[in-house]
Each structure stands twice: as structure tokens, then as C-alpha cells.
Structure 1
Amino acid sequence: MQGRAAKFVCLVGVALVGMSIFAPPAYSQIQQGETLSGPDSHETGLGPHGHLLGDWGGERSRLLERGVNFDLQYISDSLWNIKSVQKERLASWNRIRGTVDIDFGALVHQQGLYFHATALWQGGGILGNYLGTLTSPSGMSSGNTFRLDSWWMEKRWLNERLTARVGQFAGQDFYGTQHDGASFIFEPMGYALGNLFTNYESYDPPSTPAMEVRLVPINHLYVKSMVEAEDRDPYAHNPTGLVPQFRGVPVSISEIGFTPGKKASSVRAFDNVESRKGYSGLYQFGASYNPGKFTTPTSTTPRSGNYLLYWMASQALWRVDPQSGKGLDATFAYDWSPAAVNRNNRELTAGLRFNEPIPLHIHNTVSLGFVQNNLSSQFLQPGAPSWKAERAVECNVLLDVAPMLLLQPVVQYYANVGGGPQRAVVFGFRTKIEF
């Protein structure tokens, strides 16, 4: 099976390259757009002075003109549980990520053909595990690793109305992701909905082999679908990320999106300062299905199949100038999966973001987020007290201190930690440096 899957992926890659040779040239050069997810995505355009190591004597700019973009960044979440039943502890999660994006239209005149690859080192303490929260305080923390995260070849046709992608990438980087993710710290709002893993939708960084097709039939509507290899223990099976693993069953994920105020072909998974200008919005409905075997608390016989549905909305509510990004945004998301199979089967998120509220010459935002997790009563042990809905609130301030430095202090409050009666208060900050 692995051999057939590998041959199929190779054939698809060759087909994409072949079709690019015969594709008509685009009328204008289209930028590739953001390829990083969640906290790794770029809030602002870096510009000529946006890197700590500068422009490499002009070499970085010359490479960019040729369609080759290198990015190296360091991100850290330093969080303290200043009030909880657990002893106070500082948990620092650190990540260094290197990325290369190639636009073959600029490099070798193969219009609409792109390549992306990213690798990282990450490690540190996971505060959510220590506190026992369902909502992870950090949208970055997962496994200590040094690995190739994702890579793909991508081909776009018809002015980006049709896109195909093949390689190794994570479903949670593009499905069930928070469009305003860079504006929050805790996971369900800073990256992707926190319970998508119940259906084994792959996540960043242990991505799995995948293929995706995206179609824009009309200006403000897109449909996309991907198939990825299920791997229930990706860190163990592929510790380096260099050897694609075709384990388990194929997991399918689909989404339909409506983009009022903006062409659907220009919308990417995560927004930035430029894309949030004007009264644009993004409304999404998606579903994932895993045909594999799942255990249930009420039967010793595994059940075939599991699925999850999600609804998401992001909308600009008010702008000082209709053409600018200064003003107020709102975001909302809800997902549901069968209570008989999934312990954490419902999650709701909602948030507000104020763009440029502080009269400073630097970019800044103030964001307020809310997350509620519900646990299925079918997973309760006999005689155990009923679970409560865990609720979490976050307020953070994002400060673009310098073109290469971002600082984001945050306060988080958790009620009914892990579905129990405990409470917790977390304080800390995110630091991001572009090299």
C-alpha cells in the first residue's frame, strides 16, 4: 500500500509540473501569499528593514525578485500560572522555524507553479498539561522535536480560481483554523479549534502526506477538499519528517467559504494587516471524516467511522476609514462531533479585535477571546460527578515594537479547569523575532 501511495503522489507531482508547461501565462504576477499557520504567520509585511540580519547585502531582495523567499523566525510563549491549585510555575515554549517559498513564475517562467518547505526546532514546558486545561494556554506547544514540518508543490490556474496541492502538510493548518489566529495566544483561537485531533486531523508540525484541490466558482465563494494520511502516533512513526508515512486510513476534510468584500481567490487561511482592510469577512462551514475504527465507552466493539462539523465566521464590524484596517473585528466558531465517540465533542470560540486602538506610531491590536469546551457525559465513570463546561477568557495586546520584533503580553482566566471546579489565572507574553 505504501509503495502504491508513493507512486501516486509522484505521478501527481509530475502532472502538476507538466501542466504548468502548457498553462497559458498569467496576465500579472500573483504573489504566493502567506504559507505559515497560526502564531508562525506574519502579522505585517516585513519590508526591507524587517529582518534582524538585514538584507544580506541586497541578496535577500535579489532572491525575492527571482521568486525565492527565505524566512527564519524565533517565537516564544512564556506563561505563568499566577493563581491555580497547582504550584506556580513558568512554562516557556520555544520555536525556531526556517521556511523557503519558491515562485517558479519569477524563477523559471513557469506561471502559477509554487514550492513550499518549512522545518523547525521546538521544545519547552507545556502549561496546559500541568494545569489540566482543555484549552491549551499556548497555540504552539505540542511535542519536543527537530524535524521537517511540511512541504508541497502547488499549481494555480485561471487566475487562482483552480488550485491543486500535493505534498506533506497538516489539515489543521488550513481546515478549522482561526482566520484571526495571529491575534490570540491560547490554542483554540490562536491556531485551530482545539478538539480537531479527536478525528485525527493532522496538525503542525507532525504533518502527513496529503493532496488538496481548491475551486473558486464565483468571485466570493470557494470550495476546497483534501485527503490526508491518518497517523495516530506521527512523532514516533516519522520523527524527522523526512520519510512520508502512509499509515491508517485516508482522512477527508472539506470546506466551503463565503468571502463578502473580498475575492475568494485572494483569501488565505490567516489574515494580516493588509488583508483586514475594509469591511471584508469570511464565513466557513467544514467537515472531516475518518473511516477508521474508534472505541466507545459503552461498547467493547470498535465503531467504524467518526466525523466532525464546524462553523466559523470572521467579520470587520467597524472601520474609521472604510478603506483602512483601523477599527473593530469579530470572530466566532463552533464545532460538534458525536458524543458517543468523542469525549471533548463540542467547542465554541468568540472574540473581538481592536486594530490600532493605541495612538502609537507602531502597529498594535488589543484582542479579547472566549473559549468554551464541553465534555460528553457518556465518558463519565459510574458515580463520578458531572462535568462542567470549561470556560477560558483571554485579553492580549500585540505590539509591533520594531519591524523584526513583536511583543504580545497576555492574561488568561480559566473556570472549571478540565471540567472540574478549579480555576486558574495565567499571565505571560509572546515574543517573535524575524531573522
Structure 2
Amino acid sequence: MNKRFHYATFMLGLWCACGQAQAYSAFGQDSPWMFGDWNGKRSELSNKGIDFDLRYISESAWNAHGGYDHDRTVRYSDQWTAGINFDLDKLLGISNAEFQFTLTDRNGDDLTADRLVNPAAGNVSSVQEVHGRGNITRITQLWYRQRFYDDALAIKVGRIPVGDDFAVIDSNFQNLFLGSGEPGNQAGGIWYNWPVSQWATTARWNFSPAYYAQIGFFNINPSNLDTDHGLDLKHSGTTGTLIPVEFGWTPKLGAEGLAGKYKLGGYYSTADATDYDADDEGTKDYRVGAYYVIQQQVTTHNGDASRGMSLFSMGTWNDKDTAYIDKYISIGMSYTGPFDARPKDDFGIGLAWANVNDNYDRYTRRSNEDLAGPASPGYLVAQGEEYDAEIYYGFHMANWLTLRPNVQYVIHPGGNSDTDNAIVGGFMAKVDF
């Protein structure tokens, strides 16, 4: 019996046990959850300080044209999330404190690796951002947060994905390079995004409602990526500490209060890393990088700030001596509520560019010198620039269900100019239980 069947059986049994909701009925369009309010129990527990996050997301992709392998096929990936948050003030009388525990389970395959890129090059981005880090169950969040001085200072300790707090952007795109936590998709080996967590401590200072600064100290441990350690909190293998720093401005502009997010950050890693610029297989005892995130709503719909257009841009710079991707930039827009008849639908269009580090490319292809030629096993092809574009439309079917078909266009998949540009048809589904 497969894993997905077990999850479906569990969720169906949960709904049957809970019955119809009082405040929100099961499968009601206005309900935040598919299974409603559990006969009022969910709201009752929330009032007592216990909130649940039960979610499913799937992403399918079909190579409609191009890519390295022209064999047309569909690849499917998904993620189940089961989280619980405890308001410790309501439960235990500990003021301004909370505890979060989250399990994730990922399944499926990656069209990018299977069809789009030359195996002798490898992935740059992915057309299914939810895929990755193994088909396993993981402890993704296990942290305690304490707030001080009327929320001016917040300290968080525990198992935390770096991308939960740093370089965050609101995104509904399916392409990996149009999503959140981009340094973790490019630096490699030190910055782990969802669903991988690291032992960490973070501190955030809110200087005012619109300005903040934050810093984190994340234990770097490659064993976190091992699929045998998804539920293991005690494995050894620490190699250093990742220290990200971020400054942010979150204004509400104009009379309509248009929300914006402006972030400038950087990171420093104390872990040893391969020095791709060295001629003697040397190492470097630190790694550095920087990033920015801009997201700004620019219009409303007849004064309704919940509808309108937002623009975004992200960029990263990673140390050329140690990074896989040394430069990246993306731009795009999204629009919520394009039609009066469907005020909660949304659509977006985005474009991303990434450059594989020249030093990395030269370093990895040195092994080609000992081979007879491109036909030899182990021969690596050149990698350079890749462009990723996506357009999507999100159908808000209910408050608990959104369906987002999309079309993606990948230029130079895997950063290899000899690989045909690819057109990909995608489909994302999000369900809150």
C-alpha cells in the first residue's frame, strides 16, 4: 500500500470522525479548510491556543517541446504538511511565547532532471519547486519563539529552515527560481530551505512598525540532507555556522496603504568550502553572499487593497570562489482579483536569469582532460546562463482550494546552450484541510 493512500485514508477518517462543522461546513466554499471546523472543535482549540496547519500541494509538469530528452512525459511531485502551533500564553500563561512543530512529506519525480537537462550538466533551476531533498518525511520546524518589549524583539530557537525568515518573498510561481529563499537554491550546502531544517537561533529587532533588522546563527550539517535522518535530531557532522543578516522596510504607501517589502541581506559561512578558483584542489575557510528582495503593490481595484497589481524583483550575488550560481536576478508581476466575478483569482508572470559560476564550470570540467572525448563516460558539458519564464493563472475554487495551471519556458536548460529550449506545461493544486 503506497504512502499517498495512507495519507488519503487518514484525512478521510479524520473528517468522518469530526463530522460537519458548526461555523464552517466541510467542503463549504467560504470555509478556510476542506473538512470545515470539525464540529466547532477546531475554533475551540484555537481559542485555547492550539492551531493546526494541514496542507497538501501538488505540482505536475509536462515537457511540451524541447529539452534534452524530447520524449514527452508528465512528472508529478507533491508535499504533505502537518503542523501544530501552541500559543503558550493561552495554554501555560507564558506571555508572548509560542511553540511550532511541523512534519513534511515529499513524494514524486522531477521533470527537469528527467527530461529537460543534459545529465552531464545537471539542474540549474527546476520547473517543480516543491520537488527536492528526497521522498521522505522530515521534521521541518521544531522551534520556540519568545517576544519581548511589546514585540520589539523576538528570539527563536530550535530547528528552523533558513528560508523561513531570510530572503522571504510571497510567491505563487511553480518555477524554483521565481520563489522564496533564493540564496539557498544557489549557494549550496550551507543554506537549507524548506523542508530541511537546521539547529538555529534567530533574533529580530522591530525598530518601528515599518523597519526591522534580523540575524541568525544556523548550524551547518550536511547530514541534514541525508534521507536516513529526516526524523533524526541528534546526528553528528557539524562543519560550521551560517550567519545571515537582513535589514527590511515594510511600508504602506499612499492613501490606499499599498503594502511593500524591501529587504537587503547577506550571509557569512564559517564552513570550509572547495575553492573553485584554486589550481591545487584547495579549500576556502569561509563563504559569503548578498541578496535583495523587492515586492510592492502598485494598484488597487476601485480602492480595494485586497485586489490589484504587485511588482517584484529578487537578486543574489554569491562568492565566485565557492558558489555554484554566482549571479541571479528575477523580475515579474502578479495581480489579485482581475475580474469582478472572480475577485480572489490571481495571475502572474515572471522571468529569472541565473549564471553558473565560471570558476565552478572550469573546476568541474578539469576531469575532461583525462577522458578521450565527449562520448566518454563521466564527460561534463559546459554550463553558463539559464533563463526561466513562467505565466500562471490561479483559480480560487474555494478558500481551501486553489488550482494554478501555468506555462514555463526554459532557455538553455541546465545552463547548457547546446540543449534545446523547453516549453513546459505545469499544474499546481493547493489544499488546506
TM-score by length of 2: 0.81
Per the alignment, residue 347 of structure 1 pairs with 328
CA distance in 1, matches of 2:270, 2:53: 38
Residue 152 of structure 1 aligns to which amino acid in structure 2?
W
Distance 1:364 1:48 in 2: 14
Distance 2:49 2:384 in 1: 52
**Letter of the 1:77 counterpart:** E
Q: Tell me which of 306, 309, 314 is aligned to 1:333.
A: 314
Q: Partners in 1 of 2:431 and 2:180 — Cα distance?
A: 19
Q: Deviations over 1:8-63 (max 9, x none)?
A: xxxxxxxxxxxxxxxxxxxxxxxxxxxxxxxxxxxxxx997222222111111100
Residue matched to 2:90: 106
Alignment partner, residue 181 of structure 2: 192
Matched AA of 1:340: D
Q: Secondary structure in 2 aligned to 1:50?
A: coil
Q: What is the correspondence of 1:39-50 to structure 2 with a 5 Å cutoff?
A: 49-50=31-32
Answer yes or no: is the 8 Å Cα contact 1:372–1:389 preserved in 2: yes
Cα offset for 1:351?
1.1
Q: Which residue of 1 aligns with 2:224?
A: 234
Q: Cα gap change, 1:230/1:388 in structure 2, threshold over 3 Å: closer, same or farther?
A: closer
Task: Tell whether 2:390 aligns with 1:394.
Answer: yes
Aligned counterpart for 1:66 among listed residues 27, 34, 48: 48
* Structure 1 position 404 matched with structure 2 position 394: no
Gaps of 5+ in 2: 1-27, 118-122, 370-379
**Post-superposition offset of 1:356:** 0.6
Q: Structure 1 69/385 Cα, relative in aligned 2: closer, same or farther at 3 Å?
A: closer
Structure 2 CA distance for aligned equivalents of residues 292 and 377 of structure 1 = 22
Rounded to whole Å, the distance in 2 between the matches of 1:88 and 1:278 is 47
Amino acid of the structure 2 residue aligned with 1:128: T
TM-score normalized with structure 1 length: 0.81
Contact between 2:349 and 2:389, CA under 8 Å: does it hold in 1?
Answer: yes
Is residue 370–residue 391 contact of structure 1 (8 Å, CA) maintained in 2?
Answer: yes
Query: Residues 392 and 48 from structure 1, CA distance in 2 versus in 1: closer, same or farther, beyond 3 angstroms?
Result: closer
* In the alignment, structure 1 residue 80 sits paired with structure 2 residue 62: yes
Q: Distance in 2 between matches of 1:200 and 1:419?
A: 22
Aligned residue in 2 for 1:270: none
- The higher radius of gyration belongs to 2
Aligned equivalents of 1:404 and 1:155: distance in 2?
30
For the aligned residue pairs, the C-alpha RMSD in angstroms reads 2.2
Contact 1:237 1:245 in 2 (8 A): no
- 8 Å contact kept, 1:229–1:245: no
Q: Return closer, same or farther for 1:219/1:173 CA change in 2, 3 Å cut-off.
A: closer
Percentage of identical aligned residues: 21
Deviation of the 1:197 alpha carbon? 3.9
Which whole-Å CA distance do the structure 2 matches of 1:237 and 1:201 have between them? 17
Unaligned runs of at least 5 residues, structure 1: 1-45, 263-276
C-alpha contact 1:73 1:434 (8 A) present in aligned 2: yes
Tell me the SS of whatever aligns to 2:226. Answer: helix
Alignment-derived partner of residue 369 in structure 1: 350
Task: Give, in whole Å, the separation in 2 of the partners of 1:245 and 1:210.
Answer: 15
Q: Which amino acid counterpart does residue 353 of structure 1 have in structure 2?
A: S
Q: Residue 425 of structure 2 is aligned with which of 405, 424, 427?
A: 427
Deviation at 1:102, TM superposition (A): 1.2
